[in-house]
């Protein structure tokens, strides 16, 4: 059940609470109310695009005590009850407003959770791969992760961080789930009982109750690691909210007029453990209603073991856009040079420091030679082509290539090809002597220059991935080949000549 972080399975106990049946008259019954609520969520599966932006405000009371657990201190994977993600704010009082953002279309998914002064978490499936970026503002650290799969990567989508989409399990193309099989956690429509009618946050509502028997119901992602290290798994099964398992239930508040869900409460010992609320439903498009105000309260225990409010969250929906074209920029994450990357695309998690791939130059105009020649000039023959070689005099393969080019210099000149050799790093005195001395001793007949103090930036802008590195341009200065070996030079030049000949023929025919 690793992928279902919202669900805690507790077997072997029944509710044991008698629930009075409330007769509302007419055709109102619990099952029809439940089905209506769930149908009101299903429009999310019948749209092409969706963008939702939500303002998030956390408030922590500071009255609850930290759970005592000796078996799971650091790793969520070692504890049967996952710690909340993101963890609840440790300070008392309100936090600065954050942002939640959700975007989907037929091939891409995006989720952003940003809390000022705390964190920024962004996950994107761009249609080809999963890219996640996490940044901690407290220690100014950030990292990226890459994968080829979306499954389990978006934490129940909106339901994990908001109050909507919690009435039932949902399956999306990026997270395929067994909806019918998972209904036992949420309660099937016929398992709910209509218990009464009450004013819930100013709204006249029907009250519905569901008491799980097969399993222990929904855990909303905000549960605790362990209730007590002294409670044994032999007595209660999984360690968790063991003290209240025999008296656990779920309560829905459904609007008497509009039949929409306004509250969903998880109760233990008839007292709220987690309460989600929704209000201000608006018709965002024809027949599609969305709660523009949402929130939830998380209850813990005080020093005396009594339930108390631990934290609350208010959610204000700022924007809902349906079936509008979403900009590509939403689904793009640019990795930054020097950051840590966890790459799982090979099937194994590999960690490395990211270095961006240099741009490809083929078909583009060659960067200006004057940027790296430090005042030296290159006289290119009329209708001439250029062969640039980035090399390192301290590297044997580079020296070998330059010597071989020197042997072909006359032939290259006859083909109107100007050769420029660029020493790609500062030359230190060594056994081979300085750069000028080596060039003179080896009778190098073409221009040899050295990059200045921005060698790495120059190599990057010229697309250099290794040394030596050859770049060939046509007579217009457009790059026709790059990164090829000396053994391919004759072939590349022949291809270039053929292309230029075809161009001349087309011009002659007036095409």
Are 323 and 463 contained in the same domain? no
Pairing outcome for strands 447-450 and 417-423: parallel
Q: DSSP labels for 192-252?
A: -EEEEEEEETTEEEEEEEE--SSS--B--S---S-S-TTS-HHHHSSSSSGGGGGGEEEEE
Cα of first residue to Cα of last residue in the chain, in angstroms, is 66
Average pLDDT rounded to a whole number, residues 305-319: 92
- 398, 298: one domain: no
Please determine, for residue 243, whether its predicted confidence score (pLDDT) is greater than 50. Answer: no
384 and 344 both lie in a single domain: no
Of 46-50, 294-298, 353-357, 465-469, the one with minimum mean pLDDT is: 353-357
pLDDT at 14: 34
Which pLDDT band holds residue 67 (cuts at 50, 70, 90)?
very low
pLDDT of residue 224 exceeding 80: no
* Residues 349, 387 within the same domain: no
| Each residue's pLDDT tens digit, 334-343 | 888 888 999 9
> Are 393 and 449 members of one domain?
yes
**Residue 440 domain flag:** yes
Which range has the worst mean pLDDT, 82-96, 174-188, 284-298? Answer: 82-96
Domain enclosing residue 313, as ranges: 30-353
- Dihedral of the CA atoms 393, 396, 400, 403 (nearest 10)? 30
**Shared domain check, 330 and 229:** yes
Quick one: pLDDT band at residue 129, thresholds 50, 70, 90?
very high
Which one has a higher pLDDT value, 8 or 316?
Answer: 316
Does 387 reside within a domain?
A: yes
Q: Are 337 and 397 contained in the same domain?
A: no
| Domain annotation covers residue 361 | no
Better pLDDT: 144 or 68? 144
pLDDT value at position 77?
34
The answer to whether position 14 is within a domain reads no
pLDDT, position 3 = 40
- DSSP label of 348: S
What's the pLDDT at 7?
36
> What does the mean pLDDT of the chain come to?
81
Of the two residues 279 and 249, the one the predictor is more confident about is: 279
* Average pLDDT of the segment spanning 17-25: 39
Q: 118-134: string of b/e by CB count within 10 Å (b at 16+)?
A: bbbbbbbbbeeebbbbe
Q: Is residue 47 part of a domain?
A: yes
Token pair for residue 75? 């790793």
What is the spatial distance between Cα 144 and Cα 341, in angstroms, rounded to a whole number? 5
Quick check: is 80 in a domain? yes
Three-state SS for 276? strand
Residues 320, 205: one domain? yes
Flag whether 214 is in a domain: yes
Three-class secondary structure of residue 448 per DSSP: strand
Burial class, 12, CB count within 10 angstroms (exposed 0-12 / middle 13-18 / buried 19+):
exposed
Same-domain pairing of 194 and 315: yes
Of 130-134, 135-139, 366-370, which one has max mean pLDDT?
Answer: 130-134
The listed range with the strongest mean pLDDT (14-18, 102-106, 234-238) is: 102-106
Band of residue 433 on the pLDDT scale cut at 50, 70, 90: low
Residues 331 and 381 in one domain: no
Confidence of residue 418 (pLDDT cuts 50, 70, 90): very high
Q: What is the pLDDT of residue 114?
A: 96
- Confidence class for position 301, pLDDT limits 50, 70, 90: confident
Looking up residue 398, the CATH number of its domain turns out to be: 3.40.30.10
Which of the residue ranges 249-258, 302-311, 467-476 would you say has the lowest mean pLDDT?
302-311
Q: What is the pLDDT of residues 150-208, one digit of tens each?
A: 988 898 899 999 999 999 999 999 999 999 988 988 999 999 999 999 999 999 999 99
Is the same domain home to 392 and 333? no
pLDDT at 26: 53
Gap between the Cα atoms of 194 and 197, Å rounded: 9
Total structural domains within the chain: 2
Tell me what pLDDT residue 428 has.
65
Q: What is the band of 37 on the pLDDT scale with cuts at 50, 70, 90?
A: very high
Of 353, 379, 404, the position where a domain reaches its end is 353
The per-residue b/e assignment along 466-493, b for 16 or more CB within 10 angstroms, e otherwise, is ebbbbbbbbbebebbbbbeebeebeebb
Give me the pLDDT at residue 383, please: 64
Given a contact cutoff of 8 angstroms between Cβ atoms, the answer to whether 156 and 174 are in contact is: no
pLDDT above 50: residue 83 = no
Residue 227: pLDDT above 60? no
Minimum mean pLDDT range among 63-67, 162-166, 504-508? 63-67
pLDDT at 308 over 50: yes
- Domain final position from 298, 327, 353: 353
Q: ∠ CA 201-281-297 to the nearest 5 degrees?
A: 45
Boundary residue ending a domain (319, 353, 387): 353
The C-alpha atoms of residue 158 and residue 168 are separated, in whole angstroms, by 12
* Residue 64 belongs to some domain of the structure: yes
Shared domain check, 431 and 391: yes
């Amino acid at each position: 059940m690793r992928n279902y972080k919202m669900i805690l399975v507790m077997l072997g106990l029944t509710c044991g609470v008698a629930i009075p049946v409330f007769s509302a008259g007419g055709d109102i019954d619990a099952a029809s109310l439940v089905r209506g609520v769930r149908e009101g969520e299903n429009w999310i599966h019948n749209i092409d695009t969706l963008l939702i932006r939500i303002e998030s405000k956390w408030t922590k009371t500071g009255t609850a005590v930290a759970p005592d657990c000796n078996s799971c201190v650091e790793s969520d994977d070692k504890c049967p009850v996952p710690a909340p993600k993101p963890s609840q704010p440790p300070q008392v009082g309100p936090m600065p407003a954050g942002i939640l953002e959700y975007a989907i279309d037929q091939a891409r998914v995006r989720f952003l959770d940003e809390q000022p002064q705390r964190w920024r978490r962004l996950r994107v499936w761009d249609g080809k791969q999963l890219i996640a970026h996490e940044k901690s503002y407290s220690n100014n650290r950030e990292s990226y992760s890459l994968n080829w799969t979306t499954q389990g990567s978006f934490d129940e989508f909106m339901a994990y961080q908001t109050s909507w989409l919690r009435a039932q399990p949902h399956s999306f193309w990026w997270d395929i789930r067994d909806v019918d099989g998972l209904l036992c956690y949420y309660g099937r429509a016929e398992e709910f009982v209509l218990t009464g009618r009450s004013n819930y946050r100013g709204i006249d509502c029907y009250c519905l109750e569901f008491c799980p028997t097969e399993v222990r119901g929904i855990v909303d992602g905000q549960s605790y690691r362990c209730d007590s290290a002294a409670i044994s798994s032999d007595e209660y099964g999984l360690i968790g909210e063991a003290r209240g398992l025999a008296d656990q239930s779920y309560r829905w508040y459904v609007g008497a007029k509009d039949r929409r869900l306004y509250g969903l409460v998880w109760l233990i010992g008839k007292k709220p453990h987690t309460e989600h609320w929704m209000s201000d439903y608006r018709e965002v498009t024809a027949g599609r209603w969305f709660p523009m105000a949402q929130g939830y309260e998380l209850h813990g225990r005080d020093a005396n073991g009594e339930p108390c409010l631990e934290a609350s969250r208010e959610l204000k929906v700022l924007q809902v856009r349906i079936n509008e074209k979403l900009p590509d920029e939403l689904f793009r994450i640019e990795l930054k040079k020097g950051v840590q990357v966890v790459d799982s695309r090979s099937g194994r998690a590999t960690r490395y420091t990211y270095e961006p791939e240099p741009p490809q130059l083929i078909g583009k105009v060659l960067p200006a030679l004057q940027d790296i020649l430090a005042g030296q000039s290159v006289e290119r023959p009329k209708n001439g082509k250029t062969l640039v070689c980035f090399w390192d005099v301290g590297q044997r393969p580079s020296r070998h290539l330059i010597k071989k080019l020197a042997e072909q210099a006359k032939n290259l000149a006859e083909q109107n090809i100007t050769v420029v050799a660029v020493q790609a790093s500062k030359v230190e005195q060594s056994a081979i002597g300085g750069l000028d001395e080596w060039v003179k001793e080896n009778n190098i007949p073409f221009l040899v220059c050295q990059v200045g103090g921005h060698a790495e930036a120059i190599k990057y802008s010229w697309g250099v991935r290794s040394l030596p590195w050859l770049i060939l341009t046509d007579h217009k200065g457009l790059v026709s080949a790059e990164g090829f070996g000396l053994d391919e030079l004759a072939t590349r030049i022949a291809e270039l000549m053929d292309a230029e000949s075809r161009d001349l023929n087309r011009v002659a025919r007036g095409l």
